[in-house]
Protein backbone atom coordinates (compact mmCIF):
# COMPACT_ATOMS: atom_id res chain seq x y z
CA UNK A 1 0.00 0.00 0.00
CA UNK A 2 2.79 2.45 0.90
CA UNK A 3 4.60 1.67 -2.35
CA UNK A 4 1.40 2.32 -4.30
CA UNK A 5 0.84 5.63 -2.49
CA UNK A 6 4.35 6.71 -3.48
CA UNK A 7 3.80 5.68 -7.09
CA UNK A 8 0.51 7.60 -7.12
CA UNK A 9 2.28 10.66 -5.68
CA UNK A 10 5.01 10.38 -8.32
CA UNK A 11 2.37 10.28 -11.07
CA UNK A 12 0.73 13.41 -9.67
CA UNK A 13 4.12 15.17 -9.56
CA UNK A 14 4.76 14.25 -13.19
CA UNK A 15 1.32 15.52 -14.18
CA UNK A 16 1.89 18.70 -12.17
CA UNK A 17 5.24 19.32 -13.87
CA UNK A 18 3.54 19.34 -17.27
CA UNK A 19 0.83 21.65 -15.91
CA UNK A 20 3.45 24.10 -14.64
CA UNK A 21 5.22 24.11 -17.99
CA UNK A 22 1.90 24.65 -19.75
CA UNK A 23 0.96 27.49 -17.38
CA UNK A 24 4.25 29.27 -17.99
CA UNK A 25 3.85 28.93 -21.76
CA UNK A 26 0.29 30.27 -21.59
CA UNK A 27 1.45 33.25 -19.51
CA UNK A 28 4.12 33.98 -22.11
CA UNK A 29 1.59 33.58 -24.94
CA UNK A 30 -0.55 36.37 -23.46
CA UNK A 31 2.22 38.72 -22.41
CA UNK A 32 5.61 38.49 -24.13
CA UNK A 33 5.54 36.25 -27.21
CA UNK A 34 6.45 37.70 -30.64
CA UNK A 35 3.57 37.52 -33.10
CA UNK A 36 5.38 35.11 -35.43
CA UNK A 37 5.89 32.63 -32.60
CA UNK A 38 2.19 32.13 -31.87
CA UNK A 39 1.40 29.33 -34.31
CA UNK A 40 4.27 27.10 -33.17
CA UNK A 41 3.44 27.87 -29.56
CA UNK A 42 -0.13 26.69 -30.14
CA UNK A 43 1.22 23.33 -31.33
CA UNK A 44 3.38 23.01 -28.20
CA UNK A 45 0.40 23.83 -25.98
CA UNK A 46 -1.58 21.16 -27.78
CA UNK A 47 1.12 18.53 -27.22
CA UNK A 48 1.55 19.35 -23.51
CA UNK A 49 -2.20 19.41 -22.94
CA UNK A 50 -2.54 16.05 -24.67
CA UNK A 51 0.15 14.61 -22.36
CA UNK A 52 -1.65 15.90 -19.25
CA UNK A 53 -4.91 14.46 -20.59
CA UNK A 54 -3.24 11.09 -21.19
CA UNK A 55 -1.81 10.98 -17.68
CA UNK A 56 -5.15 11.86 -16.07
CA UNK A 57 -6.93 9.12 -18.06
CA UNK A 58 -4.19 6.47 -18.02
CA UNK A 59 -4.65 2.89 -16.87
CA UNK A 60 -2.14 3.69 -14.14
CA UNK A 61 -4.36 6.46 -12.82
CA UNK A 62 -7.40 4.18 -12.88
CA UNK A 63 -5.49 1.48 -10.97
CA UNK A 64 -4.36 3.87 -8.26
CA UNK A 65 -7.88 5.28 -7.86
CA UNK A 66 -9.42 1.81 -7.58
CA UNK A 67 -6.77 0.45 -5.20
CA UNK A 68 -6.45 3.46 -2.88
CA UNK A 69 -9.97 4.86 -2.71
CA UNK A 70 -11.47 4.45 0.76
CA UNK A 71 -8.38 2.62 2.07
CA UNK A 72 -6.44 5.42 3.71
CA UNK A 73 -6.93 7.47 6.88
CA UNK A 74 -5.33 10.53 5.27
CA UNK A 75 -8.11 13.08 4.66
CA UNK A 76 -6.06 15.03 2.10
CA UNK A 77 -5.09 11.90 0.18
CA UNK A 78 -8.71 10.73 0.13
CA UNK A 79 -9.81 14.08 -1.30
CA UNK A 80 -6.98 13.92 -3.87
CA UNK A 81 -8.17 10.50 -4.97
CA UNK A 82 -11.76 11.78 -5.18
CA UNK A 83 -10.63 14.70 -7.33
CA UNK A 84 -8.54 12.45 -9.59
CA UNK A 85 -11.51 10.13 -10.05
CA UNK A 86 -13.73 13.09 -10.94
CA UNK A 87 -11.16 14.28 -13.50
CA UNK A 88 -10.69 10.76 -14.82
CA UNK A 89 -14.40 10.20 -15.39
CA UNK A 90 -14.75 13.55 -17.16
CA UNK A 91 -11.54 13.46 -19.20
CA UNK A 92 -11.70 9.82 -20.25
CA UNK A 93 -14.92 10.52 -22.14
CA UNK A 94 -13.00 12.70 -24.61
CA UNK A 95 -10.70 10.88 -27.08
CA UNK A 96 -7.05 11.99 -26.79
CA UNK A 97 -6.84 13.19 -30.39
CA UNK A 98 -9.99 15.32 -30.04
CA UNK A 99 -8.70 16.91 -26.87
CA UNK A 100 -5.38 17.79 -28.53
CA UNK A 101 -7.20 19.22 -31.57
CA UNK A 102 -9.42 21.31 -29.30
CA UNK A 103 -6.55 22.72 -27.23
CA UNK A 104 -4.49 23.53 -30.31
CA UNK A 105 -7.51 25.23 -31.87
CA UNK A 106 -8.00 27.30 -28.72
CA UNK A 107 -4.44 28.58 -28.78
CA UNK A 108 -4.65 29.52 -32.46
CA UNK A 109 -8.04 31.11 -31.90
CA UNK A 110 -6.67 33.32 -29.10
CA UNK A 111 -3.99 34.73 -31.40
CA UNK A 112 -6.56 35.27 -34.18
CA UNK A 113 -8.82 37.03 -31.66
CA UNK A 114 -6.06 39.55 -30.94
CA UNK A 115 -5.77 40.33 -34.65
CA UNK A 116 -9.55 40.41 -35.16
CA UNK A 117 -9.91 42.78 -32.22
CA UNK A 118 -7.18 45.09 -33.49
CA UNK A 119 -8.73 45.17 -36.98
CA UNK A 120 -12.34 45.18 -35.75
CA UNK A 121 -13.01 42.24 -38.07
CA UNK A 122 -15.28 39.53 -36.66
CA UNK A 123 -15.03 37.49 -39.88
CA UNK A 124 -11.43 36.57 -38.96
CA UNK A 125 -12.55 34.92 -35.74
CA UNK A 126 -15.88 33.49 -36.94
CA UNK A 127 -14.60 30.16 -38.39
CA UNK A 128 -12.62 29.46 -35.22
CA UNK A 129 -15.61 30.22 -33.00
CA UNK A 130 -17.78 27.92 -35.09
CA UNK A 131 -15.36 25.06 -34.51
CA UNK A 132 -15.05 25.85 -30.79
CA UNK A 133 -18.83 25.90 -30.34
CA UNK A 134 -19.06 22.55 -32.16
CA UNK A 135 -16.42 21.03 -29.87
CA UNK A 136 -18.19 22.31 -26.75
CA UNK A 137 -21.48 20.85 -27.91
CA UNK A 138 -19.77 17.52 -28.51
CA UNK A 139 -17.99 17.57 -25.15
CA UNK A 140 -21.23 18.40 -23.30
CA UNK A 141 -22.76 15.33 -24.92
CA UNK A 142 -19.76 13.19 -23.92
CA UNK A 143 -19.96 14.36 -20.32
CA UNK A 144 -23.72 14.04 -20.12
CA UNK A 145 -26.24 16.54 -18.86
CA UNK A 146 -29.78 16.89 -17.57
CA UNK A 147 -32.45 19.02 -19.22
CA UNK A 148 -30.12 21.40 -21.07
CA UNK A 149 -26.87 20.74 -22.97
CA UNK A 150 -25.39 23.91 -21.49
CA UNK A 151 -25.58 22.29 -18.04
CA UNK A 152 -22.80 19.93 -19.11
CA UNK A 153 -20.50 22.92 -19.61
CA UNK A 154 -21.57 24.80 -16.47
CA UNK A 155 -20.64 21.86 -14.28
CA UNK A 156 -17.02 22.09 -15.46
CA UNK A 157 -16.62 25.54 -13.90
CA UNK A 158 -19.14 25.47 -11.02
CA UNK A 159 -20.03 21.98 -9.87
CA UNK A 160 -23.76 21.47 -9.39
CA UNK A 161 -24.83 24.71 -11.05
CA UNK A 162 -27.71 24.48 -13.55
CA UNK A 163 -29.44 26.78 -16.00
CA UNK A 164 -32.67 26.57 -13.99
CA UNK A 165 -30.89 28.05 -10.95
CA UNK A 166 -29.13 30.69 -13.04
CA UNK A 167 -32.24 31.69 -14.96
CA UNK A 168 -34.09 32.34 -11.71
CA UNK A 169 -31.36 34.22 -9.88
CA UNK A 170 -30.26 36.21 -12.93
CA UNK A 171 -33.83 37.32 -13.57
CA UNK A 172 -34.06 38.58 -9.98
CA UNK A 173 -30.77 40.46 -10.26
CA UNK A 174 -31.60 41.84 -13.70
CA UNK A 175 -34.93 43.27 -12.54
CA UNK A 176 -33.43 44.84 -9.41
CA UNK A 177 -30.42 46.39 -11.15
CA UNK A 178 -32.26 47.74 -14.20
CA UNK A 179 -34.78 49.39 -11.85
CA UNK A 180 -31.94 50.93 -9.81
CA UNK A 181 -30.19 52.19 -12.96
CA UNK A 182 -33.41 53.92 -14.05
CA UNK A 183 -33.71 55.65 -10.67
CA UNK A 184 -30.10 56.83 -10.94
CA UNK A 185 -30.76 58.21 -14.44
CA UNK A 186 -33.50 60.37 -12.89
CA UNK A 187 -31.30 61.56 -10.02
CA UNK A 188 -30.37 65.25 -9.89
CA UNK A 189 -26.87 64.39 -8.68
CA UNK A 190 -24.37 65.14 -11.43
CA UNK A 191 -21.01 63.39 -11.45
CA UNK A 192 -18.20 64.73 -13.62
CA UNK A 193 -15.97 61.80 -14.64
CA UNK A 194 -13.99 64.00 -17.02
CA UNK A 195 -12.10 65.20 -13.94
CA UNK A 196 -10.43 61.76 -13.86
CA UNK A 197 -9.55 61.58 -17.54
CA UNK A 198 -6.19 63.32 -17.47
CA UNK A 199 -2.93 61.94 -18.81
CA UNK A 200 -1.44 59.58 -16.22
CA UNK A 201 1.90 58.06 -17.33
CA UNK A 202 2.00 54.29 -17.40
CA UNK A 203 5.09 54.07 -15.19
CA UNK A 204 3.33 56.11 -12.48
CA UNK A 205 0.21 53.98 -12.69
CA UNK A 206 2.46 50.97 -12.23
CA UNK A 207 3.96 52.50 -9.06
CA UNK A 208 0.52 52.93 -7.54
CA UNK A 209 -0.60 49.45 -8.66
CA UNK A 210 2.49 47.84 -7.11
CA UNK A 211 1.95 49.75 -3.86
CA UNK A 212 -1.67 48.58 -3.60
CA UNK A 213 -0.78 44.96 -4.36
CA UNK A 214 1.78 45.06 -1.56
CA UNK A 215 -0.75 46.51 0.89
CA UNK A 216 -3.24 43.78 -0.06
CA UNK A 217 -0.66 41.23 1.06
CA UNK A 218 0.44 40.01 -2.37
CA UNK A 219 3.79 38.26 -2.05
CA UNK A 220 6.20 39.58 -4.69
CA UNK A 221 8.65 36.82 -3.80
CA UNK A 222 6.02 34.46 -5.21
CA UNK A 223 4.74 36.56 -8.10
CA UNK A 224 5.12 39.53 -10.44
CA UNK A 225 3.10 42.19 -12.26
CA UNK A 226 3.14 42.37 -16.08
CA UNK A 227 1.20 44.06 -18.86
CA UNK A 228 -1.25 42.42 -21.26
CA UNK A 229 -4.24 43.18 -23.52
CA UNK A 230 -6.78 41.31 -21.38
CA UNK A 231 -5.77 41.23 -17.67
CA UNK A 232 -5.50 37.85 -15.92
CA UNK A 233 -3.83 36.13 -12.99
CA UNK A 234 -2.23 32.72 -13.36
CA UNK A 235 -1.04 30.29 -10.71
CA UNK A 236 1.95 28.35 -12.04
CA UNK A 237 2.10 26.95 -8.50
CA UNK A 238 1.34 28.57 -5.10
CA UNK A 239 4.90 29.92 -5.01
CA UNK A 240 4.63 31.46 -8.49
CA UNK A 241 1.35 33.33 -8.97
CA UNK A 242 1.52 36.07 -11.61
CA UNK A 243 -0.68 39.12 -12.08
CA UNK A 244 -1.17 41.13 -15.25
CA UNK A 245 -2.91 44.43 -15.90
CA UNK A 246 -3.66 46.82 -18.74
CA UNK A 247 -2.68 50.48 -18.71
CA UNK A 248 -4.64 53.31 -20.30
CA UNK A 249 -2.81 56.60 -19.91
CA UNK A 250 -6.08 58.47 -20.49
CA UNK A 251 -7.98 56.58 -17.77
CA UNK A 252 -6.04 55.27 -14.77
CA UNK A 253 -9.08 53.34 -13.48
CA UNK A 254 -8.45 50.52 -15.97
CA UNK A 255 -5.10 49.58 -14.42
CA UNK A 256 -5.90 50.37 -10.77
CA UNK A 257 -9.10 48.35 -10.49
CA UNK A 258 -7.85 45.69 -12.89
CA UNK A 259 -4.76 45.17 -10.75
CA UNK A 260 -6.78 44.99 -7.53
CA UNK A 261 -9.13 42.49 -9.21
CA UNK A 262 -6.35 40.21 -10.39
CA UNK A 263 -4.59 40.65 -7.05
CA UNK A 264 -7.65 39.14 -5.38
CA UNK A 265 -7.29 36.06 -7.59
CA UNK A 266 -3.60 35.87 -6.77
CA UNK A 267 -4.07 36.07 -2.99
CA UNK A 268 -6.31 33.01 -3.25
CA UNK A 269 -3.68 30.98 -5.11
CA UNK A 270 -0.76 32.18 -2.94
CA UNK A 271 -2.41 31.25 0.35
CA UNK A 272 -3.46 27.67 -0.28
CA UNK A 273 -2.35 25.31 2.49
CA UNK A 274 1.15 23.89 1.86
CA UNK A 275 -0.14 20.38 2.56
CA UNK A 276 -2.01 20.58 -0.75
CA UNK A 277 1.04 21.51 -2.84
CA UNK A 278 1.85 19.19 -5.76
CA UNK A 279 -1.70 17.83 -5.74
CA UNK A 280 -4.81 18.59 -7.87
CA UNK A 281 -6.24 20.35 -4.79
CA UNK A 282 -3.71 23.20 -4.87
CA UNK A 283 -5.96 25.63 -6.72
CA UNK A 284 -9.22 27.52 -6.29
CA UNK A 285 -12.24 25.30 -5.76
CA UNK A 286 -14.29 26.87 -8.57
CA UNK A 287 -14.34 29.87 -10.86
CA UNK A 288 -17.27 31.32 -8.88
CA UNK A 289 -15.32 31.27 -5.61
CA UNK A 290 -12.27 32.60 -7.45
CA UNK A 291 -14.32 35.52 -8.75
CA UNK A 292 -15.67 36.14 -5.26
CA UNK A 293 -12.11 36.91 -4.18
CA UNK A 294 -11.26 39.25 -7.06
CA UNK A 295 -14.58 41.08 -6.93
CA UNK A 296 -14.47 41.36 -3.14
CA UNK A 297 -11.15 43.18 -3.34
CA UNK A 298 -11.98 45.23 -6.42
CA UNK A 299 -15.43 46.42 -5.37
CA UNK A 300 -16.12 45.91 -1.67
CA UNK A 301 -12.63 47.13 -0.75
CA UNK A 302 -11.13 49.00 -3.74
CA UNK A 303 -14.19 51.08 -4.61
CA UNK A 304 -15.15 51.79 -1.01
CA UNK A 305 -15.04 55.21 0.62
CA UNK A 306 -12.77 53.91 3.37
CA UNK A 307 -10.20 52.59 0.90
CA UNK A 308 -9.78 55.95 -0.79
CA UNK A 309 -9.78 57.82 2.51
CA UNK A 310 -6.68 55.82 3.43
CA UNK A 311 -5.06 55.92 -0.02
CA UNK A 312 -6.00 59.32 -1.42
CA UNK A 313 -2.76 60.96 -0.23
CA UNK A 314 -0.70 58.11 -1.72
CA UNK A 315 -2.60 58.46 -4.98
CA UNK A 316 -1.98 62.22 -5.18
CA UNK A 317 1.70 61.77 -4.32
CA UNK A 318 2.08 59.67 -7.48
CA UNK A 319 -0.56 61.22 -9.76
CA UNK A 320 0.22 64.09 -12.19
CA UNK A 321 -0.46 67.75 -11.35
CA UNK A 322 -3.91 67.70 -12.99
CA UNK A 323 -5.21 65.50 -10.13
CA UNK A 324 -3.88 67.62 -7.26
CA UNK A 325 -6.84 70.03 -7.16
CA UNK A 326 -9.45 67.25 -6.84
CA UNK A 327 -11.24 67.15 -3.50
CA UNK A 328 -11.96 63.76 -1.96
CA UNK A 329 -15.76 63.75 -2.32
CA UNK A 330 -15.65 64.67 -6.00
CA UNK A 331 -13.00 62.01 -6.62
CA UNK A 332 -14.90 59.28 -4.74
CA UNK A 333 -18.15 60.00 -6.57
CA UNK A 334 -16.37 60.04 -9.93
CA UNK A 335 -14.78 56.60 -9.50
CA UNK A 336 -18.21 55.25 -8.56
CA UNK A 337 -20.22 56.82 -11.36
CA UNK A 338 -22.98 54.60 -12.73
CA UNK A 339 -23.15 54.82 -16.49
CA UNK A 340 -23.89 51.95 -18.88
CA UNK A 341 -20.74 51.27 -20.90
CA UNK A 342 -19.67 49.00 -23.73
CA UNK A 343 -16.62 47.30 -22.20
CA UNK A 344 -17.21 44.75 -19.44
CA UNK A 345 -13.89 45.17 -17.67
CA UNK A 346 -14.48 48.94 -17.55
CA UNK A 347 -18.08 48.62 -16.30
CA UNK A 348 -19.16 50.21 -13.04
CA UNK A 349 -19.97 47.78 -10.27
CA UNK A 350 -23.72 48.30 -10.59
CA UNK A 351 -24.12 47.48 -14.30
CA UNK A 352 -21.38 44.81 -14.31
CA UNK A 353 -23.76 41.89 -13.75
CA UNK A 354 -25.86 42.94 -16.74
CA UNK A 355 -22.81 42.41 -18.96
CA UNK A 356 -22.48 38.87 -17.63
CA UNK A 357 -26.16 38.09 -18.08
CA UNK A 358 -25.93 39.18 -21.72
CA UNK A 359 -23.02 36.81 -22.34
CA UNK A 360 -24.71 33.97 -20.49
CA UNK A 361 -27.87 34.24 -22.55
CA UNK A 362 -25.91 34.41 -25.82
CA UNK A 363 -23.65 31.45 -25.17
CA UNK A 364 -26.53 29.36 -23.88
CA UNK A 365 -28.34 30.05 -27.17
CA UNK A 366 -25.19 29.11 -29.12
CA UNK A 367 -24.86 25.77 -27.34
CA UNK A 368 -28.59 25.06 -27.59
CA UNK A 369 -28.49 25.75 -31.33
CA UNK A 370 -30.87 28.71 -31.14
CA UNK A 371 -28.18 31.12 -32.32
CA UNK A 372 -25.50 30.75 -35.01
CA UNK A 373 -22.02 32.21 -34.65
CA UNK A 374 -22.47 34.37 -37.75
CA UNK A 375 -25.42 36.10 -36.07
CA UNK A 376 -23.57 36.71 -32.81
CA UNK A 377 -22.55 40.36 -33.42
CA UNK A 378 -26.11 41.51 -34.11
CA UNK A 379 -27.54 39.47 -31.24
CA UNK A 380 -24.90 40.98 -28.94
CA UNK A 381 -25.66 44.54 -30.01
CA UNK A 382 -29.40 44.05 -29.53
CA UNK A 383 -29.03 42.72 -26.00
CA UNK A 384 -26.70 45.60 -25.12
CA UNK A 385 -29.41 47.98 -26.25
CA UNK A 386 -32.17 46.07 -24.46
CA UNK A 387 -30.39 45.75 -21.09
CA UNK A 388 -28.01 48.71 -20.99
CA UNK A 389 -29.64 51.16 -23.38
CA UNK A 390 -26.53 51.50 -25.55
CA UNK A 391 -25.56 49.97 -28.89
CA UNK A 392 -21.91 49.24 -29.82
CA UNK A 393 -20.60 51.23 -32.79
CA UNK A 394 -18.30 48.37 -33.82
CA UNK A 395 -17.42 44.79 -32.90
CA UNK A 396 -14.34 45.86 -30.97
CA UNK A 397 -16.73 47.59 -28.56
CA UNK A 398 -19.03 44.60 -28.74
CA UNK A 399 -18.55 40.91 -29.43
CA UNK A 400 -14.76 41.03 -29.86
CA UNK A 401 -13.93 42.60 -26.50
CA UNK A 402 -13.50 39.41 -24.41
CA UNK A 403 -10.96 36.63 -24.87
CA UNK A 404 -13.06 33.86 -23.29
CA UNK A 405 -15.00 32.52 -26.27
CA UNK A 406 -11.89 32.53 -28.46
CA UNK A 407 -10.28 30.42 -25.70
CA UNK A 408 -13.18 27.94 -25.91
CA UNK A 409 -14.44 28.79 -22.43
CA UNK A 410 -18.19 28.30 -22.79
CA UNK A 411 -19.96 27.95 -19.45
CA UNK A 412 -17.41 30.22 -17.77
CA UNK A 413 -19.04 33.64 -17.94
CA UNK A 414 -21.86 32.98 -15.42
CA UNK A 415 -19.25 32.46 -12.71
CA UNK A 416 -18.41 36.19 -12.82
CA UNK A 417 -21.89 37.13 -11.62
CA UNK A 418 -22.04 34.13 -9.32
CA UNK A 419 -18.75 35.24 -7.78
CA UNK A 420 -20.18 38.72 -7.23
CA UNK A 421 -23.06 37.19 -5.26
CA UNK A 422 -20.65 35.02 -3.25
CA UNK A 423 -18.50 38.11 -2.57
CA UNK A 424 -21.51 39.99 -1.22
CA UNK A 425 -22.34 37.08 1.07
CA UNK A 426 -18.75 36.91 2.35
CA UNK A 427 -18.73 40.69 2.80
CA UNK A 428 -21.96 40.53 4.82
CA UNK A 429 -20.55 37.81 7.07
CA UNK A 430 -17.17 39.52 7.48
CA UNK A 431 -18.93 42.63 8.76
CA UNK A 432 -20.54 40.52 11.48
CA UNK A 433 -17.14 39.33 12.68
CA UNK A 434 -14.80 42.26 11.98
CA UNK A 435 -15.01 46.04 12.20
CA UNK A 436 -14.55 46.03 8.44
CA UNK A 437 -15.10 49.72 7.80
CA UNK A 438 -12.42 50.72 10.31
CA UNK A 439 -10.00 48.11 8.96
CA UNK A 440 -10.36 49.33 5.37
CA UNK A 441 -10.04 52.97 6.42
CA UNK A 442 -6.86 52.16 8.37
CA UNK A 443 -5.17 50.88 5.21
CA UNK A 444 -3.94 47.77 7.05
CA UNK A 445 -5.63 44.92 5.18
CA UNK A 446 -3.94 42.06 7.06
CA UNK A 447 -7.10 41.13 9.03
CA UNK A 448 -9.06 40.84 5.76
CA UNK A 449 -6.44 38.62 4.17
CA UNK A 450 -6.23 36.48 7.31
CA UNK A 451 -10.03 36.07 7.43
CA UNK A 452 -10.18 35.06 3.77
CA UNK A 453 -7.25 32.67 4.15
CA UNK A 454 -8.89 30.98 7.13
CA UNK A 455 -12.33 30.63 5.53
CA UNK A 456 -11.54 30.32 1.81
CA UNK A 457 -7.95 30.34 0.57
CA UNK A 458 -6.30 27.59 2.58
CA UNK A 459 -8.86 24.96 1.60
CA UNK A 460 -8.04 24.94 -2.12
CA UNK A 461 -10.23 22.26 -3.64
CA UNK A 462 -10.68 20.41 -0.34
CA UNK A 463 -14.16 21.95 -0.19
CA UNK A 464 -16.80 22.40 -2.88
CA UNK A 465 -17.92 25.98 -3.64
CA UNK A 466 -21.30 25.86 -1.92
CA UNK A 467 -19.72 23.99 1.00
CA UNK A 468 -17.44 26.99 1.56
CA UNK A 469 -20.32 29.45 1.33
CA UNK A 470 -22.51 27.42 3.70
CA UNK A 471 -19.68 26.89 6.21
CA UNK A 472 -18.85 30.60 6.27
CA UNK A 473 -22.27 32.23 5.97
CA UNK A 474 -24.72 29.55 7.06
CA UNK A 475 -26.71 29.83 3.83
CA UNK A 476 -26.59 28.76 0.19
CA UNK A 477 -26.46 31.04 -2.84
CA UNK A 478 -28.32 34.26 -2.01
CA UNK A 479 -28.45 37.26 -4.35
CA UNK A 480 -30.22 39.46 -1.76
CA UNK A 481 -26.95 40.61 -0.15
CA UNK A 482 -25.59 41.89 -3.47
CA UNK A 483 -28.82 43.71 -4.29
CA UNK A 484 -28.91 45.24 -0.79
CA UNK A 485 -25.26 46.35 -0.97
CA UNK A 486 -25.63 48.03 -4.35
CA UNK A 487 -28.94 49.65 -3.40
CA UNK A 488 -27.57 51.08 -0.16
CA UNK A 489 -24.31 52.36 -1.66
CA UNK A 490 -25.77 54.00 -4.74
CA UNK A 491 -28.83 55.39 -3.02
CA UNK A 492 -26.38 57.31 -0.84
CA UNK A 493 -24.15 58.47 -3.70
CA UNK A 494 -27.07 59.54 -5.92
CA UNK A 495 -29.31 60.69 -3.04
CA UNK A 496 -32.19 58.46 -4.15
Quick one: average pLDDT of 141-154? 92
* 261 annotated ligand binder: yes
Mean pLDDT of the chain: 95
pLDDT value at 463 more than 90:
yes
pLDDT at position 39: 86
Q: How far is Cα 45 from Cα 25, in angstroms, rounded to an integer?
A: 7
Contact yes or no for 170/417 (Cβ under 8 A) = yes
* Catalytic annotation present for 475: no
Class of 163-493 in CATH: mainly alpha
pLDDT value at 374 more than 90:
yes
User: What is the percent of the chain with per-residue pLDDT over 70, rounded to a whole number?
Assistant: 100
Most confidently modeled of 46-55, 155-164, 446-455? 446-455
Residue pLDDT, tens place only, 408-430: 999 999 999 999 999 999 999 99
Residue pLDDT, tens place only, 3-17: 999 999 999 999 999
Banded model confidence at residue 292, pLDDT cuts 50, 70, 90: very high
Q: Per the residue annotation, which of 50, 110, 158, 262 is the catalytic one?
A: 262
pLDDT at position 38: 85
Residue pLDDT, tens place only, 50-87: 999 999 999 999 999 999 999 988 999 999 999 999 99
pLDDT value at 302 more than 90:
yes
pLDDT at position 229: 85
Quick one: average pLDDT of 287-313? 97
* 190 annotated ligand binder: no
Map out the domains of the chain as residue ranges.
2-144, 163-493
pLDDT at position 159: 83
- Three-state SS for the chain is CHHHHHHHHHHHHHHHHHHHHHHHHHHHHHHCCCHHHHHHHHHHHHHHHHHHHHHHCCHHHHHHHHHHCCCCCCHHHHHHHHHHHHHHHHHCCCCHHHHHHHHHHHHHHHHHHHHHHHHCCHHHHHHHHHHHHHHHHHHHHHHCCCCCHHHHHHHHHCCCCCHHHHHHHHHHHHHHHHHHHHHHHCCCCCCCHHHHCCCCCHHHHHHHHHHHHHHHCCCHHHCCEEECCCCCEEEEECCEEEEEECCCCCCCHHHHHHHHHHHHHHHHHHCCCHHHCCCCCCCCCCHHHHHHHHHHHHHHHCCCHHHHHHHHHHHHHHCCHHHCCCCHHHHHHHHCCCCCCCCHHHCCCCCHHHHHHHHHHHHHHHHHCCCCHHHHHHHHHHHHHHHHCCCCCCCCCCCCCCCCCCCCCCCCCHHHHHHHHHHHHHHHHHHHHCCHHHHHHHCCCHHHHHHHHHHCHHHCCCCCHHHHHHHHHCCCCCCHHHHHHHHHHHHHHCCC
pLDDT value at 42 more than 90:
no
Residue pLDDT, tens place only, 251-275: 999 999 999 999 999 999 999 999 9
Quick one: average pLDDT of 21-48? 91
Global pTM reads 0.92
* 203 annotated ligand binder: no
Amino acid sequence: MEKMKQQFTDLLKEQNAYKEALGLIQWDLRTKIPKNGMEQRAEVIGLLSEKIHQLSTSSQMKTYIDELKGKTNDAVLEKVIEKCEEDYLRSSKIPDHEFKEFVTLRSKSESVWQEAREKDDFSLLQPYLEQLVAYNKKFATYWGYETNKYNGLLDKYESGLTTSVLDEVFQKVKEALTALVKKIEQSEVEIDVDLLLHHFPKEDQEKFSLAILEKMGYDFQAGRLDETIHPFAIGINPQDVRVTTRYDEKDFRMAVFGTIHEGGHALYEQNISPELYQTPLASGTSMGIHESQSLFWENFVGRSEGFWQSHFDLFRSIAPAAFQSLDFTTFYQAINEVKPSFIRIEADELTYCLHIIIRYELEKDLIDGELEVKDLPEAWNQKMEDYLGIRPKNNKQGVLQDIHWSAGDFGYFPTYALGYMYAAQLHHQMKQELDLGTIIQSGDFAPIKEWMTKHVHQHGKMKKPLEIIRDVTGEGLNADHLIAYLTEKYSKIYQL
